[in-house]
Amino acid sequence: MFKNLDPLLHSQVRLAIMTILLNSKSAEFSFLLENIDTTKGNLSFQITKLKEANYISVKKSFRNNYPLTTLQITETGINAYENYIASITDYFNKSKQNQ
């Protein structure tokens, strides 16, 4: 039987955000925008989705009078990410068994 995939993480942009945050203490919005092929609006929308699920925390501040958005992955987000990777790995392993 196949495990369910987290629909929240089964999105290219959201998965990219989570992967970047998992490998760093925190990341700024501008860094994510530079490293993920998407628009500002879409990135903002996907960040909101992850924040609402408590997968990430978002801190809004200012640097030199410019808005600064900093994101961090939460413990809930780490667990969800690890479960997603385990589930998708299971799919790949079952594919290899059928060859």
Which tens digit of pLDDT belongs to each residue from 30-86?
A: 999 999 999 999 999 999 999 999 999 999 999 999 999 999 999 999 999 999 999
Position 55, amino acid: Y
CATH (domain of 42): 1.10.10.10
Q: Is residue 19 part of a domain?
A: yes
Q: Is residue 5 part of a domain?
A: no
Range of the domain at 59: 12-91
Q: Is residue 65 part of a domain?
A: yes
Q: Residue 79 in contact with residue 18, Cβ under 8 Å?
A: no
Q: Give how many domains the chain has, as a whole number.
A: 1
- pLDDT for 96 beyond 80: no
Q: Is residue 98 part of a domain?
A: no
Q: Is residue 99 part of a domain?
A: no
Q: How many residues does the chain have?
A: 99
Q: Is residue 7 part of a domain?
A: no
Q: Residue 46 in contact with residue 13, Cβ under 8 Å?
A: yes
The pLDDT value recorded for residue 46 is 98
